């Protein structure tokens, strides 16, 4: 079981992501409520004798369906985070993990004026790890990149195999100025992941993780 400081960091991560995702869900609900109001206007106009605009009605129904679908996808991502807390160390598909991570964190990056993009990694990359811990490690890497990336920038998350390890990189942050402190994931977190962290001369942040079976 994690000690008190570690539990506090886990809760902080979970809280930040949940807060961001819940704000996104509220936006979808607000749009659905707006469309509902327009539907009510159509019904009221029809009750007053105006011909029902079927084209407008179909359009609003389509708008609502799209928002419900998008909101459902956001809930699926939040559900994935919630269930990751209960998962033990097991094989984790890196591509699916990175997809979940970007879906959960893209809004946080956007709030700082930074676009977060995922380059699809090679298929079949598998790590033996605890998913929640890996998501936390990626989050701390993202925080380090966002601390260095100016508004209007773009961060690209990608993964590859190098030297028997999975190399996860965040590109797009500018090179560190001389003497500038480099933010890095917590040492205890890197130890739990069996990972190493580095910042390249071009500003790229790199997390190297052992592959499953390595």
Same domain, 115 and 199: yes
Same domain, 44 and 142: no
- What is the rounded average pLDDT of the residues 194-209? 94
- Using the predicted structure, report yes or no on whether residue 1 has a pLDDT greater than 50: no
Same domain, 171 and 99: yes
Report pLDDT digits (tens) over 166-200: 999 999 988 865 556 667 899 999 999 999 999 99
Out of 59, 84, 109, pick the residue that ends a domain. Answer: 84
Same domain, 140 and 94: yes
CATH number reported for the structural domain that contains residue 104 in this entry: 3.30.565.10
Same domain, 80 and 116: no
Same domain, 131 and 196: yes
Number of domains in the chain: 2
Same domain, 102 and 170: yes
Same domain, 51 and 145: no
As a whole-number percent, the residues of the chain with pLDDT over 90 amount to 83
Same domain, 199 and 144: yes
- What is the rounded average pLDDT of the residues 44-72? 96
Same domain, 105 and 159: yes
Predicted TM-score (pTM) of the model is 0.89
Same domain, 65 and 96: no
pLDDT at site 205: 95
Residue-number span of the structural domain to which 28 is assigned: 4-84
Out of 84, 113, 135, pick the residue that ends a domain. Answer: 84
pLDDT at site 137: 96
Tell me the DSSP string of the chain.
---HHHHHHHHHHHHHHHHHHHHHHHHHHHHHHHHHHHHHHHHHHHHTTPPP-HHHHHHHHHHHHHHHHHHHHHHHHHHHHHHHTT--SEEEEHHHHHHHHHHHHHHHHHHTT-EEEEPPPPTT-EEEE-HHHHHHHHHHHHHHHHHHPPTT-EEEEEEEEETTEEEEEEE-SPPPPTT-------HHHHHHHT-EEEE-TTS-EEEEEEPTT-
Same domain, 197 and 111: yes
Out of 69, 84, 99, pick the residue that ends a domain. Answer: 84
């Amino acid at each position: 079981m994690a000690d008190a400081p570690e539990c506090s960091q886990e809760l902080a991560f979970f809280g930040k992501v949940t807060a961001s995702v819940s704000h996104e869900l509220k936006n979808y609900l607000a749009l659905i409520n707006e469309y509902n109001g327009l539907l009510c206007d159509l019904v009221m106009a029809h009750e007053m004798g105006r011909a029902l605009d079927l084209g407008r009605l179909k359009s609003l129904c389509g708008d609502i369906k799209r928002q419900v679908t998008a909101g459902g996808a956001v809930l699926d991502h939040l559900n994935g985070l919630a269930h990751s807390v209960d998962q033990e160390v097991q094989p984790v598909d890196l591509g699916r993990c990175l997809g979940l991570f970007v879906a959960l964190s893209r809004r946080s990056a956007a709030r700082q004026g930074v676009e977060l993009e995922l380059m699809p990694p090679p298929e079949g990359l598998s790590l033996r790890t605890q998913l929640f811990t890996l998501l936390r490690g990626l989050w701390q890497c993202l925080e380090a990149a966002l601390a260095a990336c100016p508004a209007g920038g773009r961060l690209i998350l990608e993964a590859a195999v190098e030297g028997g390890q999975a190399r996860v990189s965040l590109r797009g942050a500018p090179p560190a100025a001389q003497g500038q402190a480099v933010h890095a994931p917590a040492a205890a977190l890197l130890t739990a992941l069996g990972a190493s962290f580095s910042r390249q001369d071009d500003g790229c942040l790199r997390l190297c993780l052992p592959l499953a079976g390595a």
